[in-house]
Amino acid sequence: MEFAHKFLPTAASVGLLPVITWFFMLIAFYAFVGNFIFALCTRTSVAPEHRISRNYTAIIAAVAGISYFLIQNYYHDMLDTLAQLSDPGARLALINQSYSAIGQLRYMDWAVTTPLLLLKIVSIVKIRYRDHQSLINTLLVADFFMILTGYIGEQQLTVDNQILVGPKLIWGAVSTIGYVIILLTLWRIWRTFAQADSIQPEERWGFRLMALMTATFWGVYPIGYILTTIEGINLNWVHIAFSVADIINKVGVGAIAYQAAERVLERRVSEEATAPYHTVG
């Protein structure tokens, strides 16, 4: 469908799965825009020591929102070309080739947002960089190593954009080392710092849930990475999985951090001294 030379994909023109894929990309973009606004509006609704977490959330949402605008825009243009193809093989080849280009945008996003997510997680138990530089540096270096080696793995392609399965899987295995170090470091923080008497129950709850999300939902990405090496798979499924996982890992973690920090403030200040409304995050 076209209005004033603006192409709008429909299932009739490009197929149902590509339209659903674009739908999820746009939903992710809208979710990050909303999360950015929410983070700014609620900065003073949490305990003062946790306001830095709202800043992390705003930056993460801004970067992810810009990334998804670029991702869906590129994908939309690809669908415009797809609508002009009739051969099923050519259509699938175009979709799969576009995956590599979009993957670059995703990794550039993750290179900025994932370290900020980790900093937000550790900030909930009030770990400060000046006091625990080695610990936080381990998290950040492992994260950058994971993203960089994963990005290199995604670039293991032939000149005609065919995936070199062996080299890609090798780089994927190398990237997993960084992921394991992140999980082990978060476990160390839980055992060493999250159990301290100075940590409020709400903060302990927030850290535990956010760390569990890192251990589980971050696992979607290596699974998707491996699936791309299977011949004949429609990579739209990977796009959908990554879009949903990004919303959960970025918006979801931000919501948990907000709830924990808000509860700390509510326990500290009497109900009469708080604002006459209650926001639900």
What are 192-232's pLDDT values in tens digits?
A: 887 777 888 999 999 999 999 999 999 999 999 999 999 87
Of residues 177, 203, 33, the one with CA closest to residue 120: 203
Q: Is the dihedral of CA 166, 169, 171, 173 positive or negative?
A: negative
Please give the pLDDT value at position 130: 82
User: What residues contact residue 244 under an 8 Å CB cut-off, 6+ apart?
Assistant: 24, 220
Give the pLDDT of residue 273.
55
Model pLDDT, residue 132? 85
Average pLDDT for 44-72: 94
d(CA 96, CA 236) in angstroms, rounded, equals 8
User: Residue 72 corresponds to which tokens in the numbers above?
Assistant: 């869906």
- The H or E element that residue 129 is part of is none
Q: Of 247, 226, 232, which Cα lies nearest the Cα of 35? A: 247
Mean pLDDT score of the chain: 89
CA separation for the pair 92, 54 (Å, rounded): 41
- Whether the pLDDT of residue 255 is over 90: the answer is yes
The secondary structure element, H or E, covering residue 210 is helix 201-216
**Residue closest to 239 by CA, chosen among 79, 29, 96:** 96
pLDDT over threshold 90, residue 265: no
Task: Report the alpha-carbon distance of residue 229 to residue 162 in Å, rounded.
Answer: 10
* 94-107: average pLDDT: 90
* Each residue's pLDDT tens digit, 120-144: 999 998 888 787 899 999 999 999 9
For range 6-31, the mean pLDDT: 92
208 burial (CB, 10 Å; 0-12 / 13-18 / 19+) is middle
Q: Are 268 and 45 in contact (CB under 8 A)?
A: no
Does residue 31 carry a pLDDT above 90? yes
Compute the distance between CA of residue 179 and CA of residue 181 in angstroms, rounded to an integer. 5
The pLDDT, as a whole number, for residue 238 is 95
User: Residue 27 in contact with residue 243, Cβ under 8 Å?
Assistant: yes
Q: pTM of the predicted model, to two decimals?
A: 0.89
pLDDT at 4: 45
Q: How far from the centroid of its chain's Cα atoms is residue 104's Cα? A: 14
Cα 33 to Cα 54, 57, 105, 178, 251, distances in angstroms? 14, 11, 18, 30, 10
- Contact partners, residue 257, CB within 8 Å, separation at least 6: 50, 53, 57, 120, 121, 124, 206, 210
8-17, 109-118, 193-202: which has the highest mean pLDDT? 109-118
